[in-house]
């Protein structure tokens, strides 16, 4: 009976018995190190660098990884070894690695998923497959749980393969297993890392300084969201996990830096969806003496650069859409976009007028919602999901943007844009408000919304207002959601697909 014909508990018990047998033989099932010299991908990509007619002079390689499949043929066997870069076939013989090492350890006590190290030379089999001939074999980790294995079942004469680890919730909960049995998932996270590197290099080339700001804050701000609350015992004070790092980065502009950015973990105590995780990553950038027009050009160039670095082209396939990040992106004022889709011009409308229009459009409105909230709901319901190709939605109503500078020519609006792609916001930016009197009035208006029951409205931050009174130069600010941008750049349906360890309900 093969291992996979046993129940999971029986398999685990059998592996523990094998573990003890290894120890009884004097074999350390958990040795301290193994000197890896090569990886599977580099060998398979350039096999001629390793293969010679005379194997006695062939370059030696040492690789390590998991045993994923195995085919034993008496005194010899083939197995697939999976390392960090892929898989490669290994040929192992009793006469090369020793009778006990082969017959007892490899054949009887090694299971699929166990981690092994081998040293040897590279050759091609009769079928042309690049293979490592093992001259040395060592068990590096005896695993106690079986890895899920796809099963082939024949139904009505048709063979069907069932993935034993296809359930998405299980994959998110046990990402370590997901990465073992679905190694293609690793590519998503490699692309995520490259995306961040490209952005960081782009900002560094322009002379901007990467900084760190507090995660625990006495007053949360910089966005409209509910915070997580904690308590500092020594100071006996309430603290909040940051919802944004904007106000601290602006303090640094006040202090004399011309350009600062931070890749930050932020936390918002809100609902979860395929686009929302309570813990998420964004990069925020603030540049002195620039405005939102400059920031639009900067943003589209940087995202275009990311697309080319990850895909070799400005065109990226996302679901059924081919999205082209080639610059320049269209600029569309928010009220124009809403009017095009609803037939209603919302510019200058009072709160009562907006409530009437929202009712006509079947948008739910309650007493906690001000002008900005209603406009945002209408935009989200009728416009945002239709914006597939990259576009900048510009010139938002002042009620929606308490940290943005008043528009220089349009009454009641601010100089703000959001970059939207594939139906979702990927970035948000302003000509930053640097008038301390105007900023105080805006934050106090936010406080009144909180009193009405809007628990996402901002708090008044007296220290931030004091900083503005010392003088902040004209400044452009930007926030880009790394998780959402990664979803687009990797054609991922859910934010959980681009987070190693997304938050889940308790098991």
Mean pLDDT, the chain, integer: 93
More confident residue, 408 or 166: 408
What the block records as the tokens of 308 is 């080319």
> In this predicted structure, what is the pLDDT of residue 159?
61
DSSP state of 16: H
Select from 61, 92, 68 the least CA-distant residue to 82: 68
CB contact at 8 A, 382 and 340: no
Three-class secondary structure of residue 184 per DSSP: coil
For the segment 219-231, what is each residue's pLDDT rounded down to a tens digit?
998 888 899 999 9
pLDDT of residue 459: 84
Both tokens of residue 478?
């930007």
- CB contact at 8 A, 506 and 499: no
Give the per-residue pLDDT at 362: 94
CA dihedral over 371, 377, 379, 382, signed as positive or negative: negative
Residue 384 near residue 376, CB atoms below 8 Å = no
| Alpha-carbon gap, residue 296 to 392, rounded angstroms | 8
Whether 310 has a pLDDT exceeding 70, the answer reads: yes
Task: Evaluate if residue 292 carries a pLDDT over 90.
Answer: yes
- If phi > 0 it is left, if psi is from -120 to 50 it is alpha, else beta; for residue 169 that is alpha
Among 46-50, 275-279, 386-390, 448-452, the minimum mean pLDDT is found in 448-452
Q: Tell me which residue has tokens 């938050």.
A: 503
Q: pLDDT at position 507, please? A: 80
What is the pLDDT, as a whole number, of residue 4?
64
Quick one: pLDDT band at residue 3, thresholds 50, 70, 90? low
3 state DSSP class of 31: coil
pLDDT of residue 154: 60
The backbone torsions φ and ψ at residue 499, rounded to the nearest 5 degrees and listed phi first, read: -115, 130
Beta strands in 189-233 (DSSP E): 209-210, 216-217, 228-232
Which of 143, 212, 211 lies closest to 176, judged by CA?
Answer: 143
Q: Say whether pLDDT at 161 is over 60.
A: no
Share of the chain above pLDDT 70, in %: 96
CA nearest to 491, candidates 326, 328, 323: 323
pLDDT single digits (tens) 410-423: 999 999 999 999 99
Q: What is the mean pLDDT of residues 335-355?
A: 95
pLDDT confidence tier of residue 452, bands split at 50, 70 and 90: confident
Instruction: Render pLDDT for 354-395 as a digit per residue (tens, 0 to 9).
Output: 999 999 999 999 988 889 889 999 999 999 999 999 999 999
Within 8 A by CB and 6+ apart from 405, the residues are: 414, 415, 430, 431, 432, 433, 434, 435
N-terminal to C-terminal alpha carbon distance within the chain: 32
3-state secondary structure of 410: coil
Once rounded to an integer, what is the mean pLDDT over residues 217-242?
93
Which pairs count as long-range contacts for 309-314, CB under 8 Å and 24+ apart, including other chains?
Answer: 309/194, 309/195, 309/198, 310/191, 310/194, 310/195, 310/198, 310/489, 311/489
Please say if the pLDDT value at position 174 is more than 80. Answer: yes
What are the tens digits of pLDDT across the range 35-83? 999 999 999 999 999 999 888 888 999 999 999 999 999 999 999 999 9
377 touches 317 (CB < 8 A): no
Q: What is the largest CA-CA distance in the chain?
A: 88
Q: How confident is the model at residue 117 (pLDDT cuts 50, 70, 90)?
A: very high
Average pLDDT, integer, range 482-501: 96
Over residues 188-209, the mean pLDDT reads: 98
Q: Which domains does the chain have, with CATH numbers?
A: 3-141 (2.40.50.140), 154-181 (no CATH), 185-330+389-467+475-498 (3.30.930.10)
Q: For position 261, what pLDDT does the model report?
A: 98
pLDDT at 85: 94
More confident residue, 385 or 166: 385
Region 4-25: mean pLDDT is 93
pLDDT in tens, 118-132: 999 999 999 999 999
Residue 1 confidence (pLDDT): 54
Using H for helix, E for strand and C for coil, what is the string for 329-396? CCEEEHHHHHHHHHCCCCCCCCHHHHHHHHHHCCCCCCCCCCHHHHHHHHHHHHCHHHCCCCEEEEEE
Judged by DSSP in three states, 168 sits in: helix
Q: Mean of the pLDDT values across residues 240-262?
A: 97
The Cα 264–Cα 479 span in angstroms is 10
DSSP E strand stretches across 42-191: 61-73, 76-83, 86-93, 115-124, 130-141, 151-155, 158-162
Question: What phi and psi values does residue 111 have, to the nearest 5 degrees?
Answer: -115, 165
Q: What are phi and psi of 404, to 5 degrees?
A: -100, 150
């Amino acid at each position: 009976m093969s291992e996979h014909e046993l129940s999971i508990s029986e398999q685990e018990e059998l592996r523990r018995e094998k573990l003890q047998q290894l120890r009884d033989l004097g074999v350390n099932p958990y040795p301290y190190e193994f000197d890896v010299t090569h990886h599977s991908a580099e060998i398979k990509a350039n096999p001629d660098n390793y293969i010679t007619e005379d194997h006695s002079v062939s370059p030696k390689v040492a690789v390590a990884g998991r045993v994923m499949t195995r085919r034993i043929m008496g005194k010899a066997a083939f197995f697939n070894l999976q390392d960090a870069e892929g898989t490669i076939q290994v040929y192992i013989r009793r006469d090369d690695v020793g009778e006990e090492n082969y017959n007892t350890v490899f054949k009887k006590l090694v299971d699929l998923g166990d981690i092994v190290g081998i040293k040897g030379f590279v050759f091609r089999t009769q079928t042309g497959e690049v293979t490592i001939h093992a001259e040395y074999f060592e068990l590096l980790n005896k695993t106690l749980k079986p890895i899920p294995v796809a099963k082939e079942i024949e139904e009505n004469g048709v063979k069907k393969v069932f993935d034993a680890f296809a359930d998405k919730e299980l994959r998110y909960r046990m990402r370590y297993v997901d990465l073992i049995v679905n190694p293609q998932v690793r590519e998503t996270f490699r692309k995520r890392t490259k995306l961040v590197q490209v952005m960081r290099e782009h900002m560094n080339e322009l002379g901007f300084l990467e900084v760190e700001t507090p995660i625990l804050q006495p007053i949360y701000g910089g966005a409209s969201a509910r915070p997580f609350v904690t308590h500092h015992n020594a100071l006996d004070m309430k603290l909040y996990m940051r919802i944004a790092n904007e106000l601290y980065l602006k303090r640094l502009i006040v202090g004399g830096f011309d350009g600062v950015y931070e890749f930050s973990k932020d936390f918002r105590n809100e609902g979860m969806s395929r686009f929302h995780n309570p813990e998420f990553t964004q990069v925020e950038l603030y540049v002195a003496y620039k405005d939102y027009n400059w920031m639009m050009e900067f943003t589209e160039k940087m995202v275009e650069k990311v697309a080319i670095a990850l895909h070799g082209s400005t065109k990226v396939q996302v679901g059924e859409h081919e999205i082209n990040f080639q610059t320049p992106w269209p600029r569309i004022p928010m009220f124009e976009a809403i009017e095009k889709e609803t037939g209603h011009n919302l510019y200058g409308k009072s709160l009562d007028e907006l409530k009437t229009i929202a009712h006509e459009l079947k948008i739910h409105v309650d007493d906690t919602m001000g002008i900005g909230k209603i406009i945002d709901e209408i935009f989200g319901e009728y416009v945002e999901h239709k914006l597939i190709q990259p576009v900048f939605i510009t010139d938002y109503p002042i009620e929606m943007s308490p940290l943005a500078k008043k528009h220089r020519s349009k009454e009641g609006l601010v100089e703000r844009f959001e970059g939207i792609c594939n139906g979702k916001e990927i970035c948000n930016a302003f000509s930053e408000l640097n008038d301390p009197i105007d900023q105080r009035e805006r934050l106090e208006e936010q406080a009144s919304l909180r009193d009405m029951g809007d628990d996402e409205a901002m708090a008044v931050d007296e220290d931030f207002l004091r900083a503005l009174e010392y003088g902040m130069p004209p400044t452009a600010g930007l926030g880009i959601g790394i998780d959402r941008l990664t979803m687009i750049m990797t054609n991922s349906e859910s934010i959980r697909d681009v987070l190693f360890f997304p938050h889940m309900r308790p098991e």
